[in-house]
Chains A and B, each alone.
Chain A
Amino acid sequence: MQQSHPAVPPQQNSLRKTQTRPIVLLIVGVLAILISLGVRNSSWARERMLKNLSLEQLALAIRDEPNDSLTFLYYGNALITAGNAQEAEQAFKRASELNPGNERAVLGMASARFRMNKLDDALEAFKKATVLNPKDKEALLGVAQTLYRQGYVSHATEPLKKILELDPRSGPAWYFLGKMYGDTHESDLALDALKHAVQVDPNKAIYWRDLGQLERHYAHLPEAEEDFKKAIHFAQNDPESYLWLGQLYLQMGDTPKIRGQAEQCFQSAIARDPQIEEAYFGLGQLYQRSANYPSAIANYRKATELDSSDEKALHYLGESLVRNGQTAEGQKLLGAANELETAKRDVDYLQKRILAEPKSRDLRLRMARLYRKYENDRSALQQYAAYQNLGSEDTQVRAEMTTYENELIKRGVLPPRPMAGLNAAPNAAGSH
């Protein structure tokens, strides 16, 4: 026999429904409120909200929520966008302190330090970010770029290779790998990497442009021409590509056709960026080559106006003036160009020698004196200090330093020394 539930009369059933509906509605309502509250307080919602805030609003937000890591993260991002890397570093640092596992905060901090050229600190942070997330391509790229800038080019390729293991179609990784191989004279690998970069990301003008520049260095002039044309195709407003193509034409020969092409490129670069000094210089070279000295002079003048420290433009301006019969002015400028070139060369060579021989006291002292000569006081003091730190106290040089410091105090470059007995800074360089 089948046992059945007692039958409920229809009226009673309807009554029960009427009685339960408010409860369901209440539950649904409560749930909705809870969900809404949950969503509103979720990091997703918060990020949506923070993303839309301006720098000023974010500055207020961190006051309201001084312990919210996310708010500091977004504040840091906004500061980076505004170009304030110094404060951005502090914001990211705070975000990271509030949430030590926040990889993005560490990455932001690294990025801010990189922008400020605090490379050792940036490297440390980038590496920390890769520990937090070993597959973070951005962090790996940061490690590579920092090592590259520090001069450890061969080490810099390793993280890039890791990125390519994770993602063989990473354009940036191929691109930077190409640039780094180029610097380490791995010509074949450099070309191969940059060709990969343009293959995986064929619309990226900068990849074509740098590939062209590499081809140009390697004297593959027709290939370089094609690459620069592609770069122009994908970024028609990029003055650099026009400039480099113009320079390539200058290098390719000296026929009327090539001259015309070069001229057109330099003019196009100037049309896109009227401040592009190298394009005026290129035009100057072009006109000087065809003995059109008045036009050469006009363009070299513009170039020197835009960059008064360009000794080459100054030199050729002087040379063109002499050839144009304006001998006195020309010779004067040639003299100035020579002076500028000598100064640049002296400093450049000594800097490179110090990089190669960092423990040479003699080089440090010479560098200090050279900086002093050109009134680069901060660097001069640093080199004096480095000299002293590299060996036993040299009283003669110490006296020289003291005289120099006195000069700087007199000129108002350094603050007056504290009174005797107070906390006198033992190391001048350290105090600046």
Chain B
Amino acid sequence: MSCSPALRVLARCCFATLTLGVAGCHTASPRDQIKPAPANTANRYLESRTLPAGFKSWFEDAAQSLGVTSTMGHNGKTPLTVLEVMGPGCAVCDFDGDGHADILVIGQDGPVAKGKCALYRNNGDGTFTDVTKGSGLEAPGNYMGVAVGDIDNDGKPDIVITGYGVVKLFRNLGGCKFQDITKGSGLEAPSSSSWATSAAFADVDRDGKLDLYIARYVVFNDHTLQFCDYGLKASCGPIFYDPQIGSMYRNIGSGKFKDVTREWGLEGARGKTLGVAFADVNGDGWPDMYLGNDEMPGDLFINLGTHTEKGRKFRSTGVESGVGMSGSGQMQGAMGVDFGDYDHDGRPDLFVTTFEFEQKSLYRNGEGTLFNISSQQTGIGPATSNFVGFGTKFIDVNNDGWLDIAIANGHIHDNQAKIDKLGSYAQPLQLFINDGGKTFANRTLEAGTGFTKPAVGRALATGDLNDDGLVDIVVTDVEGNLRVLINHTEDHNNWLRISLVGTTCNRMAIGAHVTVKSGSESWSAECTTGGSYLSASDPRLHFGLDKATHVDCIKVAWPDGKTTEIKNPHVPGDITIKEQ
């Protein structure tokens, strides 16, 4: 066996450290994989500033009053394993086609938690009705994540639910009824310990049918380490487990999928993936894919998209494109991921949430495949480093035309407060307001108690739940009630919400690139339900227009290459654009 000279140098300089004979072994604490805890006050997660008396919070947690009563928890069991603390997910989508976004909450039925999925139909007046019973989604499972996409182009979004040893494919029958069509679909979990996390749909090969990527995390079972010694026993981090690698499934029609991971050049993914998002990062019209890997370099797979390959070949460029590592050149504990054009340059930028004491990574898309880390410059880095971030979305909270960032936070150690006296399992959510594409200001306090009240936040999905032109947020809490954060910001900016209907491309038009122009201003976004963590969000494209009262045109570049231009649409309001 041989290795390169560089590695030999390395072998000499850093491998001499482990000389463990059996007799001399002891169970050492794996503390060196944990970074020291920061903090100067008991509530280090909160800002020290205060708001003026009578300040009206931007968001209200209205879950209970709206009839969304899902709750999660582990009945006080401690410590919890890594499997017990990672999920579950949620989705915001108009499942019944009535024009209003519904909510699907994924329930994890594990050894302790006895969660079940819950489907809440939007009544059209901003309230919800639990329609789980009879929906076909009642059967429990050790579920975690969810992806939403219309796999058969029948106009009804279908559902994929991921989990530990399980993947389920549910065909939407309409009227909030679903049919389990997993068997024979090709999506079945490859083994009883296969741990599927986030998943996302995209028409990768642009054949008009939505393909699916299912991310996988680590090898965890009864024979692997259950707890690590941090002074106290607690769930272990990913470095103590072997990686599992995700799979790309090509939609071959009739509800069937084929695993094309190797065929399409994705077998080199590093694994331990928690977040997955698609976007056309280099503007060539083919969907590229980013994988947020936990304590492994991130993977950016560029779709080669040539005519010969027809989008069925990827090249890994994570490291060379600058999105593989954190701003300090380290691997990061990546969890949630999302694409969004925060600086209005027409190219999708990338945001990645990470573990505590790691600045969350904001990568500005420079030249399509070259990203520059801008966490420090934009100010989002220092303000996020104390948190363990999971679900995240770019979201224009105040319709000022600039994408803001919302983050769900929460530690993975249920006993973190005992391990680190100034840390905690439950942590506040965070909201960062984009100031002209240059900096982000922490406005968590203004967001209100729905944000500041600590939660063990995981999934985060977005959508306008009450059709008031303001995007709302849904967040799962591993140890509490689902949060339905209704947006009440009062900036009175204009907005435009675009629903796309594909005819020759995939019906949901996932992957369509939309540009809205108003005078010298322009905004762009890509249609997707993916991103964040274990979540699926409303595919309708929401554009904040600031004070613009007129839009010159909307240009849609459909995934199949066609384009549509709509001139002078009415604003504010909804518009449906059908592919011609």
Contacts and interface: CB of A to CB of B under 8 A. Distances in A.
A366 to B, nearest CB: 9
A185 B29 CA distance: 12
A225 to B, nearest CB: 14
B103 interface: no
Interface residues of B, number: 69
A44 to B, nearest CB: 42
Contact of B1 (A150, A251, A372): A372
Interface residues of A, number: 73
Interface stretch (B30-38, B399-407, B460-468): B30-38
Interface in A300-351: 308-309, 312, 315-316, 318-319, 322-323, 330-331, 334, 336-341, 343-345, 347-349, 351
Contacts of B28: 150-152, 355-356
A356 B228 contact: yes
Interface stretch (A25-33, A73-81, A214-222): A214-222
A334 B44 CA distance: 38
Interface string A199-227: 00000000000000010011111000000
Contacts of B228: 356
A39 B401 CA distance: 92
Interface stretch (B5-13, B173-181, B562-570): B5-13
Nearest to B416: A185
Interface string A165-199: 00000000000000000111111101000000000
Interface string B4-27: 101111111111111111101111
Nearest to B240: A353
Nearest to A218: B38
Contact of A331 (B320, B377, B423): B320
B31 A334 contact: no
B62 interface: no
Nearest to A313: B329
Contacts of B37: 185, 187, 217-218
A158 interface: no
A217 B10 contact: no
Q: What DSSP secondary structure best describes chain B's contact surface?
A: loop
A379 B6 contact: no
Nearest to A371: B15
A385 B21 CA distance: 8
A373 B370 contact: no
Given A154-B231, A187-B422, A374 B15 contact: yes
B297 A185 contact: no
B112 interface: no
B320 A322 contact: yes
Given A349-B239, A356-B27, A217 B36 contact: yes
Which residue, of A120, A152, A221, A347, has the highest number of chain B Cβ atoms within 10 A? A347
A187 B329 contact: no
Contacts of A351: 17-18
Contacts of A421: none
Given A323-B370, A358-B25, A382-B19, A373 B225 contact: no
A337 to B, nearest CB: 7
Contact of A352 (B8, B21, B33, B421): B33
Contacts of A219: 38-40, 44, 382, 385-386
A152 B231 CA distance: 10
A411 to B, nearest CB: 11
A336 B16 CA distance: 22
Contacts of A186: 420-421
A343 B19 contact: no
B14 A357 contact: no
Nearest to B38: A218
Given A315-B325, A358-B27, A183 B36 contact: yes
B32 A185 contact: no
Interface string B346-389: 00000000000100000000000010000011010010011000
A379 B15 contact: yes
B27 A218 contact: no
Given A152-B26, A187-B37, A217-B35, 18 more contacts: A151-B29, A184-B31, A185-B31, A187-B38, A251-B382, A252-B382, A309-B10, A319-B320, A336-B4, A344-B14, A349-B239, A351-B17, A353-B225, A354-B20, A358-B27, A373-B3, A382-B21, A383-B20
23 contacts: A152-B28, A185-B36, A185-B230, A214-B36, A218-B40, A219-B385, A308-B9, A318-B320, A319-B320, A334-B320, A338-B319, A345-B296, A347-B14, A351-B17, A352-B240, A353-B240, A355-B30, A373-B3, A374-B7, A375-B11, A376-B15, A379-B18, A382-B19
Q: Which 4 A-B pairs have the closest CB atoms?
A: A358-B25, A218-B38, A151-B28, A312-B329
